[in-house]
Structure 1
């Protein structure tokens, strides 16, 4: 039995969210504040026996996106798969037309809802002819938390993350339609569990929070997994060995008690008491060693001694280890406990919050790869790219911050196994950062990876990281392998593809048979570029979250030909030592024709390496370096989420840069332009109106 999905309605930052899980190990990826902790709390409300049986919820537990929470329900539903035939598991089994048939699918839900009387009044009002929004609101305003109840039900089939289900069985507040609470609707909402079954007692759940104090847990009698692993083992020790050990302990107790030092202290205490209260009333005093002489208690007294791997031969107490080391030991013991001891439970769950908080990179990856999948379902939250890079995307849920609510994406939804495999091959620790981004740009190679972030930073005073955009070097033109995960069915974030059309930079003969070797190369590249455009157009068709953007020729050529010869010319001193070569290259790079300047920049790039050339040119970028239009549009497409504060920061950067540059045509206008005394919206509007040809104005228009 394992959790197949979790449905959340109106709980904290989840308005209507659905998580999908697989048997074994699952990963929750999300930025800070996306709701990972809220997700774990929702799970724990239903399966963690360390929380109160009836968790008290408050008005602040309703999602803020509701506006007015009165009358609404908070619903948390777990759906299970692979239920066995036991009575406890079948108590969760989803009903089919009221008939139980050893179902392998089950559910368990908590409803925080208005009490029967309130629901009845809402229904009655919805049946009146003169119902209206104003009177409904007056009624809702009178509802308090005292009018709410918390109920736990099982066997329900309804997924209340679906708006149609919620409106039908909870109510439609817009059309003022509410269901009759006398219609039990048990098939959808669920039924009460049998009194003799307490789900908390039938499940094992351990929550390991980010900075858990595992030292205290390992000292605890009830929470210590070492004690749980040892419990009952005393019964398997041979009787002869037990007798031998117990006799040895009894003898040792006598030896300790009869030590001269112990006897002296005992006599001193005895004498002191008799002097204080007299011999008639003084109790008899003795000091006895009480090392346990029962096998069960002896096993309970065993402690774990540990040592760091680089201190061979030394072992100490658990608190001498680092926090990360202690957590690794605790986690390993807990998994072993679930595998070996808790075999009578219908399911075991291990919830691990951000293991990267105290476990370093290599251990994260090793730990994740080594976790067993037999009897324990593991759910890990992380914002570590190292953990996400070894995660199977079929077991990944991605959390993202939306407008007053969390968004949940499953990157493998509706992909076939081969497509999933190809995506997973690409998601190394570097590329997997795209799973955390608000927007993504895919590029062909090193030059784009190096120069585009620097271009954006120099020109706009913002980093791509700052606006939540990941630029990912695919290392080829096989963009589809990654881009396919950005889709209405999967990750609903914008992904821009930057690639080259490779249009020939030299004039080609009408008859291809007259091509020289260089022209043949250019013609082949042009043909491949056209084919790639057709392929990408078909791939992106109908998908609003992926869009290709093309350099007319190649990245280096298009960057140069957009009035950026200065940056390339300034780099020549680091490329050549001979002045004649520098002068010759400078003349060609400053030529206005692409068949001269374009050929020269590609010659240098091929000679020195595109990545190396990009590193040198990046050092020469200025605030007024021109970003090619196709790149500007791609960044804008990937960042529709960019906020007003980022735009204002960029305006101030552009404004200061214009004022400081005596060669800028906009310097006089920039000195007249006023920043203070304007709202952010006014500042943006006036900047765009004052500097209509500025790159920032163009970028804002593309957003």
Structure 2
């Protein structure tokens, strides 16, 4: 069984959001796009820890900001009748599918389709039935009217809009939550059945060191040890039975007992009939008390957990949780678990990240087989390009913002099953490496076809905008040749981020129509802009744009460094004349990367007067 669909309305960053999920789903995207909030939503339905029971009673800050703002504005608009104003509600809905026979006994009351193949659970946070909604709005408006009339308060109309909205109260104390089963809100999902479906979260701020010591009831190691039946630990208690005899015979303890008895004799009445003899008794601890004395050690030369590096403890922590989840023989085993792992790459160097990601899929497979387990669903969020490249792209979904709303797109969605489509997929699997996958963590994308553009475009971007590509959330991706269409298909198929292609015209070559055909093919996509050189190549446009003036001086400095002999000869022959594009280009045609790097260094020293080719300026302005 697994969650096949998650729908979220009005919760935090999500206003109206739906995403398909798979038995293994890697969720990627830039910061603050909703990856952690998505996992929190699942916890509101399936979380069985005490912290989740408390979290289900939400706060105003848990509502989508725009929804709350709209609600307050409607109250301030006295032209809207009170009965037409809707109080915002948070709803989180999941579809479950592909269950086995045992799991069906749990979800049978939650069918939501006529063919009984989908079961639905919905968390709803809404005003309770007895809440007088119209009366609440009337009272709020009366308060505003009185505020306007009160001579001691600041003039309402002179207040900024934010201050006016702050005067409106959002009655979150009148809200409560329910979890419903099925297609409507008629059936409350029973606690007993919900308890058979659990959510385990390894959050990004996990304290691995403290969780690996079973010192308290809420520590992960204790919960794992305590999940076994107590009878399986009875042999531990049997080892302690002989301790009472040892207590009685210990000389130091005997001295302490005698000292207490002597003092008791001194302060007791002579008429007391009770004996003043005291003894010390050893009370056998409960199994849980024994378990709290256990902690993990690691390695051939074991040391305490707190002496380990944070990366090693992070791996131990992940292994501990996954071993707990995989053990279906333990006491109180659930029928189904969703495991959320936030940023598994925390504190791990790139090689360990690669190794971890390469083996992630085995965690949800039946041992020794390719079949997926029915009792576990694994959801991973990550910022690591190493993790991204090792997990199958079919299971990788990127979250991004479009017009202020969060959208989702599986990387390989939209590619056809034809030979061409499969060829495109194979190419992406090969070339979406740890560098190029950076495009999924960016809000703007620039695709270039060679190392020269890769070096210089970021500098041109900075010269034009006044800040770096990194600050703008922009990724510059070198597609290594003519493979733009493979990357652009991702954009056109649903990853609707602004994308600029900078390509050579390649005039008088076998591929002279390639650039124009590329531009024509993607002309219908509002997100894609194809910029084409005027001359044959990027370098020729660059030379032509700076054949005279201050840019000319910079280019002449560069050619003298890149080609010390022939370059200096060119400079001497030019005198004060403009640079001849063909002559200059002939000297750098076989030294393009050296030319680009040297030019970059010159521009870092000073770029005043250097002209950026028009097609690049137009393209950068389109982002």
Q: What TM-score results when the alignment is normalised by the length of structure 2?
A: 0.78
The reply to whether residue 537 of structure 1 matches residue 531 of structure 2 is no
The reply to whether residue 224 of structure 1 matches residue 220 of structure 2 is yes
Distance in 2 separating the partners of 1:255 and 1:191: 64
1:376 Cα shift?
Answer: 2.4
Distance in 2 separating the partners of 1:369 and 1:464: 31
Distance in 1 separating the partners of 2:200 and 2:252: 47
Matches within 5 A, 1:183-582: 189-193=184-188, 195=190, 198-218=192-212, 219=214, 220-221=216-217, 223-225=219-221, 228=224, 231-232=227-228, 249-251=240-242, 254-255=245-246, 258-277=249-268, 280=272, 284-289=277-282, 300=291, 303-307=294-298, 313-341=300-328, 344-371=333-360, 372-374=363-365, 375-401=375-401, 405-416=405-416, 418=422, 419-487=424-492, 489-503=493-507, 523=508, 526-530=509-513, 532-551=514-533, 552-563=535-546, 564-578=551-565, 582=568
Could you tell me which residue of structure 2 aligns to residue 87 of structure 1? 105
Structure 1 contact 497–548 (Cα < 8 Å) conserved: yes
Structure 1 contact 7–77 (Cα < 8 Å) conserved: yes
Could you tell me which residue of structure 1 aligns to residue 616 of structure 2? 631
Could you tell me which residue of structure 2 aligns to residue 695 of structure 1? none
Structure 2 contact 221–295 (Cα < 8 Å) conserved: no
Provide the secondary structure at the position in 2 that maps to 1:463: coil
Is there any run of 5+ residues in structure 1 with no aligned partner, and where?
A: 123-140, 157-188, 504-522, 640-703
Distance in 2 separating the partners of 1:382 and 1:246: 44
1:22 Cα shift?
Answer: 0.8
Structure 2 contact 314–346 (Cα < 8 Å) conserved: no
The reply to whether residue 601 of structure 1 matches residue 585 of structure 2 is yes
In the alignment of these two chains, the number of paired residues is 542
Structure 1 contact 64–404 (Cα < 8 Å) conserved: no
The reply to whether residue 104 of structure 1 matches residue 98 of structure 2 is no
1:276 Cα shift?
Answer: 4.2
Is there any run of 5+ residues in structure 2 with no aligned partner, and where?
A: 72-85, 136-167, 366-374
Distance in 2 separating the partners of 1:306 and 1:316: 6
Could you tell me which residue of structure 1 aligns to residue 570 of structure 2? 584
Structure 1 contact 257–287 (Cα < 8 Å) conserved: yes
1:5 Cα shift?
Answer: 1.9
Distance in 2 separating the partners of 1:145 and 1:249: 54
1:291 Cα shift?
Answer: 6.5
Distance in 1 separating the partners of 2:7 and 2:575: 60
Give CA deviations for 1:260-293 in whole Å, capped at 9, x if unaligned: 233333333443444444684676533345566x
Q: CA RMSD for the aligned pairs?
A: 3.4
Distance in 2 separating the partners of 1:576 and 1:423: 37
1:631 Cα shift?
Answer: 1.1
Provide the secondary structure at the position in 1 that maps to 2:319: helix
Structure 2 contact 449–479 (Cα < 8 Å) conserved: yes
Could you tell me which residue of structure 2 aligns to residue 75 of structure 1? 91
Give CA deviations for 1:327-365 in whole Å, capped at 9, x if unaligned: 321211111111113674221111122334443433333
Distance in 2 separating the partners of 1:21 and 1:617: 47
Distance in 1 separating the partners of 2:56 and 2:227: 31
1:373 Cα shift?
Answer: 1.5
Q: Indicate how the Cα distance of structure 1 residues 547 and 193 shifts in structure 2: closer, same or farther if over 3 A, else same.
A: same
